[in-house]
Structure 1
Amino acid sequence: MLIHHELPTDGAVIRVLVDRDAGQGSTVWPSIGEYPVYDEVLYDALSSDALRNERFRAALRALAPGRLVLDIGTGQHLNWARESIRCGARHAVAMEVMDETFRAAEQNLQAWGLDEAITLLHGYSGDLAVQPRADLCVAEIIGSIAGAEGAGAIFTDARRRLMTDEGVVIPDRCTTRAAGACLRQVLDRHEIAFSPSAVPHLTKIFAWNQGPFDVRLRIKDPDRRGVVTTSAMVEELPFNGDLRTEQEQRVELEVHRTGYVDGVLLWLQLFHLPSRPPLDTLTEPTSWASVYVPLFPSEIPVERGDRLALTVVIRTSDDGIHPDYHVMGTLSTANGRHTGEHLSAHHGRIFRSHPVYCALFP
């Protein structure tokens, strides 16, 4: 059942599908990792992500012994700082910027008796210093779109100020992949509306932004039958290589089965170690999700062999950390060419810029 729900912070009205929630197939949420809105539910989802955790542990087992480890965005459970110590690190420095999360981490650190092994610092990593510099930096600041949480800017600063010249970053690199898709079919033909459990997080994000805006649309468990083209990499962040926070990628995708296209689906591939295959968040069950970006005002029928040319321009937003993603597409079919674009901004005042957002925010 569809309802219209008014958010308490700013009066924005959102469309909610009340009988469609977590555990019931594909759902729509705002992308939340980019914002200071974490709660117990989100932390528990990260802590219980077996695939994610095993990849990070394997990298720490290989790289942490004997090193001074820096854990940026440690969270209330200090997951990777604690794991580093278990794996033989000589000491760990953990950083946390969110006030409530830091206070919880501080209490946990004392309760676990680890305050000799782990130094906990409060603040944004760009404002803090570490002496001596770290040999290894580990951080789970990777978004459903690879750079969405500011990993490019944060790791660039860490490598410059907080790490030794020979220091190593975990994860090794990550990429964002894109494919042409139809939102209605990605949602398994269900109504386009937010999940009820997304409402508190939308409220917090809009309050933080001091007003509503077109949040990125996080699709949990997308129906992959709605993805009708080949995929290609549109963002690459080599944390131990030539890391660039601003990028521009041009790719061409081919339709491989009959269907519809109205936008693109973006998802993450994460390489924890150079020698291991990546974690693919579209095909493997993890706490990361995909992000849908609308391009065209309505669904466009496509056949095998049709082509979608994409240009993705990534520029750092005015906060100096989080990127904006400008996606432009040209779809060439037997019935003509169609062009569309969308600016997916981290924050700001762009609101109801596309028919999808007009439906979600009626």
Structure 2
Amino acid sequence: MPETREIKTHGHSVPVRVDPEPEREGRPALWPTVGEYPIYDEFLYSTMTTDHERSERFLAALAELAPGRRVLDIGTGEDLLWARESVKAGAEHAVAVEVIEGAFDKAADTLTALDRRDRITLLRGESTTLRFAPRAEICVAEIIGSMAGAEGAAAVLADARASHLVPRGRVVPHRAVTLAAAVRLADLLPGQPVAFAEASLPYLESVFDWNGGPFDIRLRVENPHTDALLCDGRPVEVLDFNGELRTEQRTTTRLDITRASHVDGVLTWLNLWCLPGEEPLDALRTKTNWASIYFPLFDRPLPVAPGDVLELSVETALSDDGIHPDYHLAGTLHTTDGHQHHGSLASPHHAGPFKAHPAYQALFPTA
């Protein structure tokens, strides 16, 4: 049974609907999204460094591209992971950049213990404000979110191409696409309450503290029940890191409902290519730290049947920090009996409204 717990943020108590059942392998879980925010701890770093599917693809790209070249690692983390792996793969030199103070300090400690520390330069700051010479030939950045651009990859890597890479320099990863499908949230968590996992509460509190108060944070669904999808996934955000890279975009797509059920929003997930021509990593169907993000659209679940169509528009615009995107979703459900239902959601990176949608009112009940 779900419980109501309280978290503290800036001296105020915020009631939160919580699923007290311990998390276990393969069980769906609802979390706040965390990758977009500077709250990384050992647990979050370890989930990335132990992600086999993610690591194998980045390693394969570096093995092909890094030998004999200068590499820039943006968001290197406390382990200097891709800077170290680039040097191991034969890079001439690696510049590792980290903005989070705690991670930078640990990275500095890591660097002093390395045999090849003379081939790695560690810099603290945002890559968009730092300058160094000579320019790199390869840029590797593990700043891809569960929504492809959520961690600022488009703005950061567009700047890296302009400011830090030689002409025709290469970026790893090569491409990232966000797909979306119509769903009902409760069906993604079958047999479970729609409530935050208990283990997620410290991270929810940390993000709210960073923001200066609560807001309608994006909802991360781990191990979602894929039978809940009511249609095939369609692209709603496309980032070509070695091609035409757009920091802002608007996509409208048609989601054709294939079975009878109910819909109240959309589930989004990542497809990622580290090298052109490879099969993409599909985060919905692969065991990886990237999860899926649920966006509520309609105030209540609406019945749907085969032949119904959800016309979905997703707009991406940079937030006031110039790095992280805000998302705005709008959907119109066209049913075969001629009815239309409209829904929308504004999902800013930070400083947005709190409990503006019924889905969030249920997750943060009034005490």
1:361 maps to 364
TM-fit CA distance, 1:302: 1.0
**Structure 1 residues 191-340: aligned runs within 5 Å:** 191-335=193-337, 336-340=339-343
TM-fit CA distance, 1:22: 4.6
| Per-residue Cα deviation, 1:30-85 (whole angstroms, up to 9, x for no partner) | 11100001111111111111000000000001100100000000001111101101
Residues 69 and 138 in structure 1, CA contact (< 8 A), matched pair in contact too = yes
SS of the residue corresponding to residue 215 of structure 1 reads coil
Please report the TM-score for the alignment, with normalisation by the length of structure 2: 0.97
TM-fit CA distance, 1:20: 4.6
1:350 is the counterpart of 2:362 = no
1:54 maps to 56
SS of the residue corresponding to residue 8 of structure 2 reads coil
1:175 maps to 177
Structure 2 residue identity aligned to 1:27: A
1:84 maps to 86
SS of the residue corresponding to residue 126 of structure 1 reads coil
Q: Work out the CA distance in 1 between the residues paired with 2:99 and 2:13.
A: 29
State which of 24, 30, 33 in structure 1 corresponds to 2:32: 30
2:8 maps to 8
TM-fit CA distance, 1:332: 1.2
Please report the TM-score for the alignment, with normalisation by the length of structure 1: 0.98
SS of the residue corresponding to residue 8 of structure 1 reads strand
In structure 2, relative to structure 1, the CA distance for the partners of 1:187 and 1:20 (3 Å cut) is: farther
Q: Which runs of 4+ in 1 moved over 6 A?
A: none
Question: Aligned Cα RMSD in Å?
Answer: 1.0
Residues 20 and 27 in structure 1, CA contact (< 8 A), matched pair in contact too = no
- Where does the alignment leave 5 or more consecutive residues of structure 1 unmatched? none
TM-fit CA distance, 1:199: 0.4
| Per-residue Cα deviation, 1:303-332 (whole angstroms, up to 9, x for no partner) | 111111001111100110000110100111
Structure 1 residue identity aligned to 2:331: G
1:121 is the counterpart of 2:123 = yes
Residues 37 and 205 in structure 1, CA contact (< 8 A), matched pair in contact too = yes
- Where does the alignment leave 5 or more consecutive residues of structure 2 unmatched? none
SS of the residue corresponding to residue 246 of structure 2 reads coil
TM-fit CA distance, 1:258: 1.6
Structure 2 residue identity aligned to 1:338: H
| Per-residue Cα deviation, 1:237-294 (whole angstroms, up to 9, x for no partner) | 0000110000000100101112111000000000100021110101111000000000
Q: Percent identity?
A: 48
Q: Work out the CA distance in 2 between the residues paired with 1:311 and 1:236.
A: 14
SS of the residue corresponding to residue 91 of structure 2 reads coil
Q: Work out the CA distance in 2 between the residues paired with 1:341 and 1:300.
A: 14
